[in-house]
Structure 1
Amino acid sequence: MLISKLLKRIRIFMKRLDAFLSSLGYCSRSEARLFLRLNTVLVKNERVFNPSTKVNHCDVLINSEPLDAEKLVIILNKPSGYICSHNDAGKLIYSLLPLRYQNRNPKISTIGRLDIDTTGAILLTDDGELNHKLTSPKKDVKKIYEVTLQNPLKGDEKELFFSGEVILNGEDKPLKPAFLKQINSNLVHLEIVEGKYHQVKRMFAYTGNKVIKLHRLEFAGFRVDDLKDGEFKILENDKI
């Protein structure tokens, strides 16, 4: 009885090879047979050509490399000029990813957004549950921005933002406390736990100042210090 239950559980995690290849963006299901001829696909170290072969994800190698993870989490150093959308015209952030990542089903989406002129750390994933958790206002996910200002600080911004009393134009509730660290008179690091529309720009507009450059240093504890503009890396599950 125990063995039959184990075998049943193993079968639950098995599915057709062409279904794996399609969902992970390697090829469409109709292209799978050709893909298997053009690439060396091993299942338990035996080459396969039949796209209907039932497999476990961990048993498959493609050209000596394991299959991409079933759920991807990516950190990317977003350059200026790229849009965090699937539908808008212009340069889309997803074009910075390999084509097979762009073809995954479900699609990879950004966790939150950065404005077209804002640079820096952004996470992308096809894990809908994780995306929801990290964008939920209840989770207080930390974000740190480097902010370049048009005018010098007045001197009271740190206390003002930390007070939790700032109500932005068009809002009916005050912002949660934010932490400002002054680098010089026109450059600050600002830590917030919300993600309201254009929040950082609107916070400094509230003080009569203007943001002329905005770079996100950190999101949810992840930084892009080791990544050039447009570069990305896959985050391991144990780090998320």
Structure 2
Amino acid sequence: MRLDKFVCDCTGLTRSQAGKLIRQGEIQLNGLLCKQPAQQIKESDVVLLDDEPLRLTGPRYILLHKPAGYVCSTDDPDHNTVFVLLDEPNIDKLHTVGRLDLDTTGLLLITDDGQWSHKISSPKHECAKTYRAWLADPVEDSAIAQFAEGVMLRGEKTPTKPAQLEIINPTECLLTIHEGRYHQVKRMFAAIGNKVVQLHRERVGPLTLDTSLAEGEYRQLTPEEVSLFN
């Protein structure tokens, strides 16, 4: 991890503020002044500010703009995982809150707080998730009522919970679901004879994807955003 990123995470300073602090000679690394914000540090390194050690404290809550081509697992022999996009210490302690498919983009939450992620991903909490779907064929207005009633997915014994469909144009829709079955959005459109050609998650609960984040970029959630799910 870069030294300026570490200082940011420990102090709440912005990257520019941390860089200025380092260049002014306010930071010691392993007993020596370090004025290089881009200096890479290890978990075993000792970083001092005003002769006090800086330490990462508390759980981490991350919002990632997931690109296509990455899987939501810690290890995959065929594809990059979303964790290679993170410049964070102790990556092995982090996990994704639910999953997005390999080709699905958009809002992905990552944390090391198991209780917090359970509140979002547990079916009993019915946390709403909104997806923008681009379709192979025009969707009929009748699909709005079908999804609101619940549709039977292939191989399932019970229909989906009521979902809200908003038709943006004949081949572009917003779909809000309240559960997380396997490939659910794609299977729901397949159940009415259509096919999803592109899928993007825009919202989880009350939290919307930060439009300032390019694909592959991430940021820490604010305390106010974290509390939205408590």
2 CA distance for matches of 1:233 and 1:220? 18
1 CA distance for matches of 2:132 and 2:225? 24
Query: How many Å apart are 1:41 and its aligned residue?
Result: 1.7
Query: How many Å apart are 1:134 and its aligned residue?
Result: 1.1
Q: Show the counterpart of 1:71.
A: 59
Corresponding position: 1:217 with 2:202: yes
Query: How many Å apart are 1:101 and its aligned residue?
Result: 4.9
2 CA distance for matches of 1:99 and 1:132? 22
Query: How many Å apart are 1:69 and its aligned residue?
Result: 3.8
2 CA distance for matches of 1:212 and 1:157? 17
Q: Show the counterpart of 2:118.
A: 132
1 CA distance for matches of 2:148 and 2:106? 24
> Residue 207 of structure 2 contacts residue 225 of structure 2 at CA under 8 Å; is this kept in 1?
no
TM-score, length-normalised on structure 1? 0.73
Question: Equivalent pairs: percent with the same residue?
Answer: 40
Q: Cα distance 1:154–1:238, how it changes in 2: closer, same or farther (>3 A)?
A: closer
2 CA distance for matches of 1:193 and 1:186? 22
- Name stretches of at least 5 consecutive residues in structure 1 with no aligned partner: 1-25, 48-59, 62-66
TM-score, length-normalised on structure 2? 0.76
> Residue 108 of structure 1 contacts residue 126 of structure 1 at CA under 8 Å; is this kept in 2?
yes
Name the aligned partner's letter for residue 86 of structure 1: T
Q: Show the counterpart of 1:5.
A: none
Query: How many Å apart are 1:99 and its aligned residue?
Result: 4.3
Name the aligned partner's letter for residue 180 of structure 1: L
2 CA distance for matches of 1:149 and 1:233? 30
Summarize deviations over 1:97-138 as a string: whole Å, max 9, x none. Answer: 0042525xxx11000000000000010000011111211100
Q: Show the counterpart of 2:156.
A: 171
Misfit runs of 4+, over 4 Å: none
Q: Secondary structure in 1 aligned to 2:99? A: coil
After TM superposition, the structure 1 = structure 2 runs for residues 38-77 of structure 1, keeping only pairs within 5 Å, are 40-42=47-49, 45-47=50-52, 60-61=53-54, 67-77=55-65
